[in-house]
Amino acid sequence: TMRESYSSENDSGFKCLNPQLRPIVIVGGHGQLGKLFCRLFELSGYQVKTLGSQDWDRADEILHDAGMVVVSVPIHLTESVIAKLGNLPEDCLLADLTSVKSGPLQAMLEVHKGPVVGLHPMFGPDIPSLAKQVVVYCDGRNPESYQWLLEQFQIWGATLNRISAIEHDQGMTLIQALRHFTSFVYGVHLAEEDPKLEQLMSLSSPIYRLELAMVGRLFAQDAQLYGDIIMSAPQNIAMIKRFHQRFGEAIEMLDAQDKDAFKQAFGQVSGWFGDYAEHFLAESQGLLRQANDSTHR
Ligand code: NAD
């Protein structure tokens, strides 16, 4: 029954580190990530309200007693939504979950005089729990007033990683923009070449199946989100263009059948990876063993 499942959820809930907090408002709380955080806060005993896209005519009413506001709307709308939050209680904590950090953090600091923190959960909505997941955070204003929140994430099982917004966005140029873009292009290429996927899979070694999975999973997700992430900063596009240029240079090597140049470049990269090359070999062997175990279960 409803009552039983409700009470068992409460039993499996989490310790509440800030029971005095006034209601939490999640802007975009009906979305994928917003829903996940709604649930986590509720399981920890916080009162949670949602401000959805249709609710702005009631915004003052929803926001007037907020103890914390969390912005979780599509990236391309984030800064304009933040700009509408100029009327929060002075002591309200303003936070966001956006995958890019500089623009939103700046916008939050400009619109709100009280405490501010930028958050980037390094996971999607499909995770079973926060155990071993990373939450990146960027200090905004009055860090002493949101230590409870960072500790609450740790109670949920997450690991915290503090970084400046600028360094975060530089890292994400490689970790998100370039990687998602190369997956996207590989997917475009596969679709154009149109091989029989089933046959590809039956011919594949586990490492190629993993690669197919890494590419294929992108296309089970939200085109808007990934388009926004890839195109969120000029530095992303500049990085992707440098990659494209190096791709072209490497192809010249092939056209010239220049195996010496290939070996020389290979050696340089191997030297750059240094001890990490062996480390990654061992790590990928471990991952493949796990993947292999789970597909034969
Ligand atoms: P989503 O599209 O599932 O959810 C966004 C929600 O915002 C929707 O419910 C939408 O109706 C609502 N919305 C749109 N305009 C609004 C407005 N003007 N006012 C209030 N609500 C509005 O997107 P998502 O995947 O949950 O992403 C939300 C944020 O989380 C983004 O900033 C994204 O970068 C970040 N994020 C997402 C993931 C992920 O894997 N999904 C991972 C890390 C971070």
Q: Please give the structure tokens belonging to residue 223.
A: 């085109």
Question: What is the 8-class DSSP label of residue 67?
Answer: S
Q: What is the mean pLDDT of the chain?
A: 94
Ligand 1 pocket member 45 (CB < 6 A): no
**In this structure, what DSSP letter does residue 219 have?**
T
Judge if ipTM > 0.85. Answer: yes
Smallest CA-to-CA distance from 49 within 21, 77, 80 is with 21
Rounded distance, CA 60 to CA 57, Å? 8
The backbone torsions φ and ψ at residue 179, rounded to the nearest 5 degrees and listed phi first, read -65, -45
Q: What is the Cβ-side half-sphere exposure of residue 165, based on CA atoms within 13 angstroms?
A: 21
Distance 78 CA to ligand 1 centre (A): 9
pLDDT on residue 11: 52
Would you say the CB of residue 30 lies under 6 angstroms from ligand 1?
Answer: yes
Q: Are 126 and 37 in contact (CB under 8 A)?
A: no
* Model confidence pTM above 0.95: no
Which residue type is seen at 90?
Answer: E
Task: Take atom 8 of ligand 1 and give the residue whose Cα is closest.
Answer: 31
Cα 28 to ligand 1 centroid, rounded to whole Å: 6
Chain segment 17-39, per-residue pLDDT in tens:
999 999 999 999 999 999 999 99
What beta strand segments (E) does 107-234 contain?
116-121, 134-141, 159-162
- Label the pairing between strands 24-27 and 159-162: unpaired
Q: How far apart are CA 272 and CA 269, in angstroms?
A: 5
Which residues, at least 6 apart from 226, have a Cβ–Cβ distance to it below 8 Å? 180, 184, 218
- Separation of 111 CA from ligand 1 center, angstroms? 20
Report the C-alpha gap between 158 and 141 in whole angstroms: 22
- What tens digit of pLDDT does each residue of 259-289 get? 999 999 999 999 999 999 999 999 999 988 8
